[in-house]
Structure 1
Amino acid sequence: MKKLFILFVALALVGFTVPAMAANDHWSFYGSARMGTFYTSQDEDAGDDKQVAWGGLQGNSRIGANVSGDTVGGRFEYGSGPNLRLLYGTWNFGGGTLLVGQTYGPANIFQSSQVYGGDAGMLNVGGFYTGRNPQIAVSAGGFKIALLTPRSGAVGVDGDSDNTMPKVEGSYSFSAGAVKITAAAGYQTYAVEGSSDAGDYNVTSWVVGGGANVNLGPAYVKVGAMTGRNVGNYGMWTTGASGATISGAAIEDTTTVGGIAVVGFKASDQLKFEGGYGYVNHSADDDDTTSVFYVQAPITVASGFYIVPEAGMYNYHEDSGKMTYFGAKWQMNF
């Protein structure tokens, strides 16, 4: 009986609180359903495989809401996993904004609209993407700086890993006429003790990248470049072996360089064209290189309804073969 009474009181409090919240806050709900339908073909060096990739609901399909108040706001977003994509609150303190929660860190630059691979956007082949992470961040003007949850883990077969500081990221963006430029960087380090293959060692990672977007009326050009050390240990999404390795009972760093280029043209409100090229190389004992190019023609069927035909090819270099694909993404926003 006591538990039922407590439950009744809690529900009553919620009932009285929600109208008060609604009077001061504005809630804006949204959703996006996405499917990819592609045919892929790998040559003999890449596995000699052909298949229709009717992938079902994409993982980045989502539903969420933006909440805005006088000075405090927030956002939540769930993916189709179901998985938590975004959950954070913000406070506008006048000179800037404080953010607490999970969202994209400053070291993320989005430039390509490639749809294959669940809207991959060439982020994993020359792009600059470190994902959505819990963080405390401050932004003011074009500057952003954040302290994020760090990553850790033994490079070899065993060892106890310890973080002694958070991951740190920062970025700066500015626009001048038709040009927008963004620069970003991140750093983390952690220690591994008692490993059987390399003893005690540190794993230090850093990433640096930048991008420039130029609008030329109905046309646009975007270019980006990045480099880093042990980016796999950092948590950057990329194709290929990108983490530190152990060689001769010692830790060995892996250096990564990459870049992308995108061009596009808006023919009408219903039709656009875009093409892009990406390249990434990881260098340790051996090189591990991947490149990709694609062309697409996004079609706006109705407000919120998009079909994006696309074709492209991945080249895995070092005699690892190629993979070609063609198909379309289907997307409805609501």
Structure 2
Amino acid sequence: MKRGGAQHEESIIGASLVAATLGLSVPAMALEVTPYGAIRVATWWTSSTYYNPAGDPLHDADFTLDLQGDSYVGMRVKEGDFSALAELGAYNPKNRSAGVELRMLFGEWNFGNGKLRVGYAPSPYVYRSEMIYDADGGFNGYASLFDGRYAQIKLSMNNGFYLALMRQENVGLAGIGATNSPTTNAGNGYINTPFNMTSTTYMAGYTDFDTFMPKTVLGYEGKAGIVTYGGGVAGNYYKIRTVAGNVQTGKDEIYSYLGFAHAKIDLAPFEIKVAGHTAQNLGNLMNNAAAAAGSFYSNNPATGKNAYTYGGWGQLGYTLNNKVKMFTGVAYESNEMRGRTSDDRMAAFANLQYAVTKNFNIVPEFAFLNEMRSAAGTKQERIYATGIKWEMKF
């Protein structure tokens, strides 16, 4: 990482600490400031099986000890009906050069009948399991709908309904390159022109995206007795056009939608959590790096165009006492398209969460990830992992 980037990150952290100090030390501001955080290190032993094009197995075994990418420090600030949250996270061990991550930054106004949020936060359809492998992955990419964080405007009513308008993401599609995808920032003007999704400079070969609306999520969260539940729908739409050798080579429209539902049943000392979803072109809607390749729209006429996804996961938890909790769960997702093999994947885990003290937890876990077969019908990786998360929080 360049020194200038490090200085910038230090400046951000320093400014945050100064702001927190001022909030705590100047009563005249009438601010309530609450700092919090969690530092997490993971030790994992993994045994993986990969396959070459002929289907021959290739084996790999590794031990890793690293900081989890979901380690963070943050603070909550409140003044009357207004509040804010700022959270900085550690670098992702898979992408160290990216440096410190802005995890969340938003303000909320409680206007009596509900709340209005403006800022940067996870998608409202995120619902996680207790699986810890891959930085508290929670079945991420294996029927979990976690897709990162987005700039958004979210209205949440006290009756449980909410509406979120989110920054739209778009990607290329099979057969049409994504050389100007704002996701990759490859060869476009998006980096320096945040309100123009693709470059306005003509090139002999490029990909152009036309966007018309934000990604929109409408949902509901409620509770009935021992059941806490939620669900909703999400939608996304954009056009894509490609040029090669100064000639237009393709154009298409991509419609994506998602229907999702989840619930938690409190049967103390047991608890049950379930989640399910169905979608069209899920990869284009969420732009999730962990999304299955088979969940993206394709313009190949031999295999149709729209990809259809369904999946879900279930988890059983048991609280032994105030120090020990146990969880186990399984997830499955299938991505289908006319004229090709379905792209399926599944995962399972079992762990024990032990509170050594109020601020120190250790979580040993066994996990299994199975990519099964790709849309081309070839075998994909299988991973066995056993490890421990070491967590200090405040």
Q: Would you say 1:48 and 2:59 are equivalent positions?
A: yes
SS at match of 2:29: helix
Against the structure 1 CA distance between its residues 251 and 198, is the aligned structure 2 distance closer, same or farther, given a 3 Å change threshold?
A: farther
Q: What is residue 216 of structure 2 aligned with on the other side? A: 168
Relative to the length of structure 1, the TM-score reads 0.89
- 1:185-228 C-alpha deviation (Å, 9 max, x unpaired): 21110111244586221111111111111111111111111111
* Amino acid aligned to 1:40: T
**Contact 1:114 1:121 survives alignment (8 Å):** yes
1:60 to 59, 70, 89: 70
Q: 1:203: which partner in 2?
A: 254
What's the CA shift string for 1:226-266, capped at 9, x where partnerless? 11111111125344212112214997111111110100100
- Structure 1 or 2: larger strand share? 1
List aligned pairs for 1:102-117, cutoff 5 A.
102-110=120-128, 112-117=129-134
| 1:322 equivalenced with 2:382 (yes/no) | yes
1:240-255 equivalences under 5 Å are: 240-241=292-293, 242-248=295-301, 252-255=305-308
Cross-structure match for 1:217: 268
The answer to whether the 8 A contact 2:277-2:310 is kept is yes
Which letter does structure 1 place at the counterpart of 2:250?
Answer: G
Matched residues in 1 for 2:168 and 2:321: separation?
Answer: 45
1:281 counterpart = 2:329: no
CA positional deviation for 1:313: 1.2
Would the alpha carbon gap of residues 229 and 268 (structure 1) be closer, same or farther in structure 2, given more than 3 Å must change?
Answer: same
Query: 1:128, CA displacement in angstroms?
Result: 2.3
Report the secondary structure of 1:245's partner residue: coil
**Displacement, 1:119?**
0.3
Secondary structure of the residue aligned to 1:165 is: coil
| Alpha-carbon distance in structure 2 between the residues aligned to 1:203 and 1:100 | 27
Structure 1 residues 132, 170: CA separation in 2 closer, same or farther (over 3 Å shift)?
Answer: same
- The Cα offsets for residues 257-302 of structure 1, whole Å up to 9 and x where unpaired, read as 1110100100011111110000111112331111111110111000
Q: Normalising to structure 2: TM-score of the pair? A: 0.76
Write the deviation string for residues 76-114 of structure 1: whole angstroms up to 9, x where unpaired: 00111201010001111111111100012222223x110
User: Hey, what does 1:258 align to over in structure 2?
Assistant: 311
Whole-angstrom distance in 2 between the partners of 1:321 and 1:76: 38
> How far off is 1:22 after superposition?
5.5
Q: 2:172 & 2:384 partners in 1: Cα distance?
A: 35
Identity of aligned residues (%): 27
Give the superposition deviation at 1:21: 7.1
Opposite residue 87 of structure 2, the aligned amino acid is E
1:84 pairs with 96, 102, 105, which one?
A: 102
CA apart distance, 1:320: 2.3
Q: Is there any run of 5+ residues in structure 2 with no aligned partner, and where?
A: 1-18, 52-56, 92-99, 178-205, 374-378
Highest relative contact order (Cα 8 Å, sep 6+), 1 or 2?
Answer: 1
Contact 1:198 1:250 in 2 (8 A): no
Contact 1:129 1:236 in 2 (8 A): no
Aligned AA (2:360): F
Indicate how the Cα distance of structure 1 residues 249 and 221 shifts in structure 2: closer, same or farther if over 3 A, else same: closer
Aligned to 1:6: none
Equivalents in 2 of 1:154, 1:202: separation in Å?
A: 11
Partner of 1:8: none
Instruction: Give how far 1:315 is off.
Output: 1.7
What SS class does the counterpart of residue 215 from structure 1 fall into? strand
Structure 2 residue aligned with 1:153: 171
> Which AA in structure 2 matches 1:223?
V
Q: Residues 198 and 249 of structure 1 are in contact (CA less than 8 Å); yes or no, is this contact kept in structure 2?
A: no
One-letter amino acid of the counterpart of residue 277, structure 2: M
Structure 2 counterpart of 1:160, one-letter code: D
Provide the rounded CA distance (Å) in 2 between the counterparts of 1:226 and 1:281. 11
Cross-structure match for 1:179: 227
Change (3 A) 1:120 1:102: same
Number of residue pairs the alignment of both structures matches: 317
Tell me, in whole angstroms, the C-alpha distance in 2 between the residues paired with 1:320 and 1:193: 32
Amino acid at match of 2:39: A
Separation in structure 2 between the aligned mates of residue 171 and residue 305 of structure 1, nearest angstrom: 35
Residues of 2 paired with 1:99 and 1:239: CA distance? 27
